[in-house]
Structure formats: structure tokens, C-alpha cells
Amino acid sequence: MEKICVISGADRGLGFGLCQELLEKGWKVFAGQYIANWKELSELKEKHEEKLFIIPMDVSFVESVQKAFRMVKEQVDHVDMIISNAGIFSGKGDLRGEIDYKGAEAAYNINAIGPIRLVESFLPLMKSGLKRLCFVSSEVGSISMAYRDRDFGYSISKTGLNMAIKIMFNDLHPHGYTFRSYHPGWVRTYMSGSKNNNGDLEPIESAIPAIKLFTEDREDEERLVMIDYLSGEWPY
Amino acid sequence: MSKIAFITGPDRGLGFAMTERLLDKGWKVYAGQYMPQWTELSDLCKKYEGNLILIPLDVSKEESVKKASEMVSETTDIVDLIINNAGIISKTYNKKISMGLDYSEMERVFNVNTLGPLRVVEAFLPLTDKSAMKRLCFVSSESGSINNSNRQDNYGYCMSKAALNMNVMMMFNRLRPEGYTFRLYHPGWVRGYMFGKKSEEGNLEPSEAAIPAITYFLRDRCRDPHDSKRTDEDRLVLRDWLGRELSW
């Protein structure tokens, strides 16, 4: 049977690559669109008319995510998988320069709290099916590996996210939900607004191992771990 | 000459008890008062005349923290020790994800518990830079340990403390090479005022919890108890009130 996925931040970068890869594998995809005038998703829609559905979604507002939920609910009776992918890079600054606190609040609101809004809103559609919750996190959230000494906002938002995933795991895993936490590597994406050309990977190169991790079974579902694009495990 | 501390959240609970303990040990304390209507601090001022100075402070606002730093620098050039103690918890902390979560509360808790200490450290650097001690202390919590977490609720608070631990790690990376030393601390389950009135649940009275806290904040960390030269300041650890190290 056809499987169904909802993904946030699908407009471009890694999120767009994840949509492409899922469609390749025959999934039905509800793609959360944040930027209405971005063309790539609409072009992908022309290619996958029956399988791809674009829904407006801003994970920083619970009303927006709940509206997206109602739109999905009109079309399907369940969702197999959620991919929480939307994220921003903000909250830059050095202790001996100036720290952007407003940017740090925005990063936390989108990167750490956004995924909770997404899961809470879509849980009513996940009582059957695969029951898989996937999160794009990052090695920048790993405290024990942290070497950075500035641009606090982004790193602390991902540490906060890792805690949020753990609490969801503690609550929902006993009810049959399975979890994936992914560090995508340094991808050439649009996290800071314009495309970063310095990264190690093109979005699709990170999307392929991501979808493999998200869709395949794991023997070790009892343990929540962050896995990177090379299948390496990251500590907290 | 007496040493000088700045503490946040000194109005009541653990913050108040730590303030009293520092004064007892002969420190001069600048206390960032959040609740002027709460009278305990003013009473303490009478007892330790001249050594306790109250400064209005709301760590959730940059302007307030900058103003506090300016006020402190009117009467001292040096701050030796900062204790970042101010913290809040949401009244709806016991909600699981299917019970309706309060997202604006999560943002507020993050703003106070996680960004507050960053604002304070940044604003007070000109004062701590002049100290030989350069000690930055942070009241965190075991609830910020992702490895140990078995909770199914309390998103806002746990996330804010995990994010605080990362915040402190990045400050450590930035300031340790300049000679700063760090204390990241879980004080135990204190019968404080986190929920507005004094809690009846908990293992420790604030005055009991303040003793190991202040001891840990003031003494040097040594790898070898018989050799004070072998310091252990080059590693950031989260320790609890019994000296146990907690994992991240």
C-alpha cells in the first residue's frame, strides 16, 4: 500500500531533496511550504501531480501547523511518517562582539519548538500506519563534541531539540512510535537565506542516506540515537 | 580586601540562601533583584550594611542586564564571581504532548533560563575581565541531561536547561583560554519558590542546598586532592550537590 509522509521546510535545500527522494520511492508526500513564491516545489508538483501535495506551513505558529493538519486530513485518513526538517540559522554573535538575542529566540522557536508543534498537530492522524517520527537535528547540538565558541543561537536550539525528541520518545515509543534523529552533514543549502556553496554535500546527496535511515527498519528501536549521513552515531 | 560577587535571582529560595552564605563568608554581594515587593533581601541589607547592594534586574531583557552592569560599575571596577541562578518553570509543566502544550511558555522559559545567563556574562565581561578569579557559575539542573532523561513532560524547562548546558559549553570554549573558570551545577531538589510559593516537596531546604553550592563555586577544582597544582579547570562538567558528575 502507498505510504504517506508529511514534511516541513520542503521548499528548497535538504527538505526539497527529501521530497524528491520519497517521490522516487513511490510515497505520497505532503510538502510543507514556507515560501509561497519559490518555484522548485511547483515544478516538482507538475512532475508528480498525483503524489505531491503542497500545503502552506509555518512551524513557528501552532495555528499554521494545525491548519496544515486539517488540509491533510481532508485528503487522507492517516499519515505514516513525519519528517521535521524546517530550520533556520540565526542568533549569531560573539561574547566579545554583539550577540543577536532576537535571532537566538527565533532559532529556538523554529528549530526546537517547531518540531513539537508539528508532532502534536499531526499525532491524531498517526494512530495507524508506520508511526515514524523523523527529525533533522545536527551535530552542532552535541554538547560533548562542541568546539564552537560563537553563534550561540543555532547550536543551543539544536540541543534543545535533542531534549524535545528525547521527551517525545519517552512518551510515545511505548505506544509503538519509532524515532529517527539525523545529522545531515554540511549541506549546500539556504539556511542563512542564500545558497551556501561551501558545504560538503549537495542536498540530494544527504537526502538519499536520510530517506534510507527514515524508511528502513532498525534493530535497535529501543534506543534513541542521532545518526549522520555516513551512518555514524553522535553522542549528546 | 573582600571579594565581590554578582548573583541573579537572589530574592528568595536558593538564590537568597546563597546570597546570605556569601555575605557570611565576608563577600561583598551585588544582588540582581527581580521582585522589589519581596522584603527578605531588604532585611538582609540591614544586617550586612554596605556589603549587600541591590540592583534591579530582569535577565529576560537586554536593556535591564546592561543597566545592571552599568550600575554595578559605578561602585566597583571588579567582579570576581557571577552566579547565574535566576530561573523559572512553567505552571503547565506536567503536560504531555497529547494534552495541549503551551508554546509561548516554552519561549518565555528559554528566554529566562537559557538566554538570561548569556546576557549576564556578556554584559559583565568588562568587570570580570579585571578579576584574577574570573569565575562564572551556573545553576543548571539534572533535568537538562538528555542521556538521563526519562520524563514524558516538562518540555519547556528540560529543553531550556539542556540548551543552557550547551550555552555554557560554548562560553567555556570562548573564555577558558582567557583564564576564566566555570561551575555548572545541579543543586538538588530544593524546596524553593519555582511555582510562586514555597514548595513543600523536595529533598533540601534552600539554606541546606546553599552550603555545597557555595563551597563548590568558591573552591578550586583539583584533580588530586593532595596536590592543589593539579587543577581540573580545563574540562567543563555538570556536577550535582554531592559532587557526582552528570552526563550531558
The per-residue pLDDT for B226 is 74
- The residues that bridge with B83 in the sheet, in sequence order, are B7, B137
Which of B110, B158, B101 has the alpha carbon at shortest distance from A121?
B101
Q: What amino acid occupies position A148?
A: R
- What whole-number distance in Å separates Cα of residue A153 and Cα of residue B115? 9
Q: What angle do CA B12, B18, B24 make, to 5 degrees?
A: 120
CA distance A6 to A3: 11
pLDDT digits (tens, 9 = 90+) for B84-122: 999 999 988 999 999 999 999 999 999 999 999 999 999
Q: Which residues of A touch B178 (CB under 8 A)?
A: none
Residue B222: the pLDDT is: 74
Q: Do A133 and A82 touch, CB atoms closer than 8 A?
A: yes
Q: What is the amino acid identity at position B33?
A: Q
Q: What percent of chain B has pLDDT over 90?
A: 91
Q: Where are the alpha helices (DSSP H) in A108-221?
A: 114-122, 152-172, 203-215
Q: Find which of A98, A100, A152 to mutate to test the B interface (most B CBs within 10 Å of its CB).
A: A152
Query: What are the grid coordinates assigned to A164, written together?
Result: 524535545
pLDDT in tens, B193-225: 988 899 999 999 999 999 999 999 999 887 666
B174 contacts chain A (CB < 8 A): yes
When computed from its CA atoms, the radius of gyration of chain B, rounded to whole angstroms, is: 17
What pLDDT, on a 0 to 100 scale, did the predictor assign at position B228?
A: 67
Q: What is the pLDDT of residue A194?
A: 83
List of chain A residues whose C-beta atoms are within 8 Å of the C-beta of residue B119: 99, 101
CB–CB of A112 and B170 under 8 A?
no
Q: Report how far residue B12's alpha carbon sits from residue A69's, in angstroms, rounded to the nearest whole number.
A: 44
Closest-CA distance of chain A to residue B154, Å: 8
Cell of B38: 519581596
Residue of A123, A163, A171, A173 for testing the chain B interface, max B β-carbons within 10 Å: A163
The Cα B78–Cα B128 span in angstroms is: 6
Contact A171 B144 (CB under 8 A): no
Residue B98: how many other CB atoms lie within 10 Å: 13
CA A235-A146-A139 angle, to 5 degrees, is 55
Query: Which of A146, A162, A170 is opposite residue B151, by nearest beta carbon?
Result: A170
The beta-carbon neighbor of B151 closest among A120, A123, A167 is A167
Cβ within 8 Å of A, B 102-121: 103, 106-107, 110-111, 114-115, 118-119, 121
Q: Which residues of B touch A123 (CB under 8 A)?
A: 97-98
Per-residue confidence (pLDDT) for residue B225, from 0 to 100: 67
As given in the structure block, the three cell numbers for residue A30 are 505532503
Residue in A184, A195, A216, A227 with CA at minimum distance from that of residue A85: A184
Mark A38-59 as b/e (b = at least 16 C-beta within 10 Å): eeebeebeeebeebbbbbebbb
Q: What is the ipTM of this complex?
A: 0.97
A163 to B144: CB separation less than 8 angstroms, yes or no: yes
pLDDT in tens, A86-113: 999 999 999 999 999 999 999 999 999 9
Q: Is B4 in contact with B79 (CB distance < 8 Å)?
A: yes
What pLDDT is stored for residue A1 in this prediction?
79
